[in-house]
Structure 1
Amino acid sequence: MSQKALVLDEQAIGRAMTRIAHQIIEKNKGIQDCVLVGIRTRGIYLAKRLAARIEQIEGEAIPVGELDITLYRDDLSTKTANQEPLVKGSDIPFSINNQKVILVDDVLYTGRTVRAGLDALMDLGRPAAIQLAVLVDRGHRELPIRADYVGKNIPTSNSEKIVVELSEVDKVDQVSIYDK
């Protein structure tokens, strides 16, 4: 794989997260009965960053949870043919019943990861609503799923790959396009 273009640097990611935080507050008329749930791995860190921005803006903390969708994936049998799936577990230390759950992920592509996240959430309770926040929407949907909050729309071809790197995992904040 070779890097084709750097699409977002650290500052651009920060601006996108601030914009999404404001949009979440505006759409929900505050953060009353709202919770953030990040999809493993990078969605968790993005959810924590959103929570910090929202707290700066509103002066009030918003609960954050971590969702592991491994066992809900529809490609589990093909991805783990010769090995057991690595399940890290979800950590949602609050009830999602009657809450507005904002599901957070790094890249929205086919929609299959989000579908798995929706299934996992529904097994945990009955939210009042589920909204989706993503850093990057690259198109190519296979399922009828749309994000409520998008940091950046990056139209891509199927021969390209979007790579999100976050300092908590990768020691750098950037989003790049690679040729497969």
Structure 2
Amino acid sequence: MQRTIILNNEQIQHKTKRIAYQIYESNINETEIVLAGIKENGFIFAKKIREVLEEISPIRVILCEVKINKKKPREQITTSISPKEYKNKPLVLVDDVLNSGTTLIYAAKHFLEVPLKRFKTGVLVNRNHKKYPIKADFKGISLSTSMQEHIYVEFKGKKAEAYLD
């Protein structure tokens, strides 16, 4: 199969900015918000959203890395901050690609053990192949792809690219 670019660096920057504005709009009355990025690409994407949020809003952004075994999501999930740091706060769970929803649903379950003010999800690419009833509240792009196709997002410093393989 040939590699097909879905989003180039400039398009990813635009999508990131748009998602940041949507998060700000839905949390306009908040003083702080937690962005919980799923390890690796989800965390990198959460950091990029935080950069934009800090430029456009007075909201204090608390960044949290969610460590989950994507192959065995039922194993213990850990976070880089303690539950008391996100308790009773609005939280956005961030990942790069929403495939079947397995990773997001198990990560969401982890956060539901602590009372939150509001819980939302955000992804750069939503594939529309859900196995679980979880949706992306904030998404850069939605694609209908075959199950044999794979979407990859590469973050290399200031450059980023999403492609179909």
Q: Tell whether the structures are fold-level matches, with TM greater than 0.5.
A: yes
Deviations 1:108-145 (A, max 9, x none): 1111110111122234x221221000000011111111
Change (3 A) 1:27 1:112: same
2:90 is aligned with 1:106: no
- 8 A Cα contact 2:31 2:58, kept in partner: no
Q: For structure 2, which runs of at least 5 residues remain unmatched after alignment?
A: none
Change (3 A) 1:145 1:95: same
Deviations 1:69-112 (A, max 9, x none): 229714x6xxxxxxxxxx89520256211111100000011111
Tell me which residue corresponds to 2:141. 152
Runs (4+) of structure 1 exceeding 6 A deviation are none
* Structure 1 counterpart SS, 2:131: coil
The aligned amino acid for 2:138 is Y
Q: CA deviation at 1:61?
A: 3.3
Deviates more, 1:54-63 or 1:109-118: 54-63
Change (3 A) 1:15 1:131: same
2:126 is aligned with 1:137: yes
Tell me which residue corresponds to 2:11. 12
Q: Give the structure with the larger strand fraction.
A: 2
Map 1:117-132 to 2 at 5 A: 117-123=107-113, 125-132=114-121
Rg: which structure is higher? 1
Change (3 A) 1:39 1:96: same
Q: CA deviation at 1:42?
A: 0.6
2:48 is aligned with 1:49: yes
Identity over aligned residues, as a percent?
A: 29
- Aligned counterparts of 2:10 and 2:112: Cα–Cα separation in 1: 35
Length-normalised TM-score, structure 2: 0.89
The aligned amino acid for 2:164 is I
